[in-house]
Amino acid sequence: MDASTTPPAAADDGRARAVGARPRVMVLFGGRSGEHAISCATASGVLRALDRDRYDVVAVGITRRGEWVLADDDPDRWAIRDGRLPEVEDTATRVLLPQGTAERDVQVLHDGRLGAPLGAVDVVFPLLHGPFGEDGTLQGLLELADVRYVGSGVLASAVGMDKHMMKLVLAGSGLRVGPFRVVPAGVAPDAATLGAIVDDLGLPVFVKPARAGSSLGITRVDDAADLPAAVAAAREHDPKVVVEAAIVGREIECGVLGGRSGAAPRASLPGEVVVAEADHTFYDFAAKYLDQTGVTLSCPADLPQDVVERVQDAAVRAFEAVGCEGIARVDVFVTADGEVVVNEINTMPGFTPYSMYPRMWQASGVDYPTLVDELVALALERPTGLR
């Protein structure tokens, strides 16, 4: 991998604050979704990885009500410790993005009064997961402000967030996806409808909010009588629900990085998630973030070389099909006969100490700080304005 060993320069379009100035990176996290705490934990990892001698780092948190506040840039403040989930709280210091393409400065309000501007920001590193952050809404706001950012744009973020639309795009691009059905928003499924879903998909099934992550609201259903409760649980996170047939196979993940200067995206070595069934019936929220003792993340996965190559190929094809930029994690199943079934793509995968994405790149020879450097460099390359 050709990641730079020196700080990437700020773009030559009037944004740099001074010749030779360190790129200013705004680490943005928190947000209104149910994944607020996971976003904070992800920010902890990125804040720790960013070299303060190479980057001018600004931490900005978004509260659960949507206020943007100047935040503590100490990584320890946002880590998950002893089961305690971090949270962004409102402060008297609010942050405002530029209000048009002619403005470059990020503004700060103290007790409602305009203070000295924070100055121009070269790259926003948006580490929000779920709705109002990973779904294209935040990306649209940054586009309106003409600010460069890490990761996928509006359309790819929206498609990647919605499991229904994502599966349609992936299948339409020739990738194999598992059977699924959708319970639309506003529809109260009756017994006949739910019975038809079970008849089509069999049991068990996995019931998921269409637009949520971190395994929030997901239920494994082994008895058809439990399906109504599972749909209700998913709807606590999203009114649209996806019901997926269970795929018998190994749970494999693969990281993808965008290519520099128009080069092809790059795939990491795959990793494998192995869940101890005595502790968790699937890779749920607790298994991901609170109880790693019941989960083994194997990097690289023990797969034949030809299967590794097929997983990597599927990951890159999924990245390109959705139109991703910069970063994504693609989750697949590898069946007993070696077939690769794409489960989903995550356009802003976690960067917590337990996350698979950085572990896979570590196994591929790219350590965490280098990975963060590369993502900043890719963001600095992206055009602004109409794309």
Burial environment of residue 166 by CB neighbours within 10 A (0 to 12, 13 to 18, 19 or more):
buried
Helix (H) or strand (E) holding 334: strand 327-334
| Shared domain check, 331 and 252 | yes
**Residue 368 belongs to some domain of the structure:** no
Q: Which residues contact 116 (CB under 8 A, 6 or more apart)?
A: 108
Dihedral sign for Cα atoms in the order 172, 176, 181, 186? negative
95-137 pLDDT, tens digit per residue, is 999 988 888 999 999 988 998 999 999 999 999 998 899 999 9
214, 293: one domain: no
d(CA 369, CA 260): 17
Lowest mean pLDDT among 65-74, 211-220, 241-250, 358-367: 211-220
For residue 307, pLDDT beyond 70: yes
Residues in CB range of 133: below 8 A, 6 or more apart = 31, 32, 33, 39, 62, 126, 348
**Does 384 map to a domain?**
no
Q: Is residue 220 part of a domain?
A: yes
292 C-beta neighbours (distance < 10 Å), count: 13
If you average pLDDT over every residue of the chain, what do you get? 90
Phi, psi of 352 (to 5 degrees): -70, 165
Rounded to an integer, what distance in angstroms lies between the CA atom of residue 135 and that of residue 157? 5
CATH number at residue 235: 3.30.1490.20
241 in Cβ contact with 269 (< 8 Å): no
User: Which runs of E-coded beta strand occur in 192-290?
Assistant: 205-209, 219-221, 241-245, 250-257, 266-267, 271-275
pLDDT value at 331 more than 90: yes
Number of Cβ within a 10 Å radius of residue 368: 17
Distance CA 36, CA 25 (A): 20
CA 177 to CA 159: how far, in whole Å? 15
Determine phi and psi for 316, rounding to 5 degrees. -65, -40
In a domain, 108, yes or no: yes
Residue 339 vs residue 11, higher pLDDT:
339
pLDDT at residue 18 tops 80: no
Comparison of pLDDT for 112 and 361, the residue scoring more: 361
Residue 21, pLDDT score: 83
126 shares its domain with 45:
yes
Question: Residue 277 belongs to a domain with what CATH number?
Answer: 3.30.470.20
Question: For residue 212, what pLDDT is reported?
Answer: 82
Domain end point (choices 245, 272, 291): 245
Dist CA 58 CA 118 (whole Å):
9
Domain count, the chain: 3
Dihedral sign, CA of 161, 164, 169, 174? positive
Q: Is 17 part of a structural domain of the chain?
A: no
Residue 375: φ, ψ to 5°: -65, -40
Measured distance CA(166)–CA(172) in Å, rounded: 10
- 117-139 burial by CB neighbour count: b if 16+ within 10 A, else e? ebebbbbbbbbbbbbbbbbbbbb
pLDDT tens figures, 262-300: 999 999 999 998 876 644 455 545 555 445 556 788 999
Residue 185, pLDDT above cutoff 50: yes
Q: Note down the domain range covering 38.
A: 24-150
What is the structure's pLDDT at 295?
A: 74
Q: Higher pLDDT residue, 99 or 50? A: 50
Q: Higher pLDDT residue, 350 or 365? A: 365
pLDDT for position 248: 95
Q: Looking at the structure, do residues 95 and 120 belong to the same domain, yes or no?
A: yes
pLDDT exceeds 90 at position 81: no
Q: Are residues 30 and 112 in the same domain?
A: yes
Q: 239 and 251 in one domain?
A: no
- In this prediction, residue 9 carries a pLDDT of 53
> Quick one: pLDDT band at residue 34, thresholds 50, 70, 90?
confident
CATH number of the domain within which 95 lies = 3.40.50.20
pLDDT band at residue 12 under the 50/70/90 scheme: very low
Q: Report which of residues 238 and 12 the model is more confident about.
A: 238
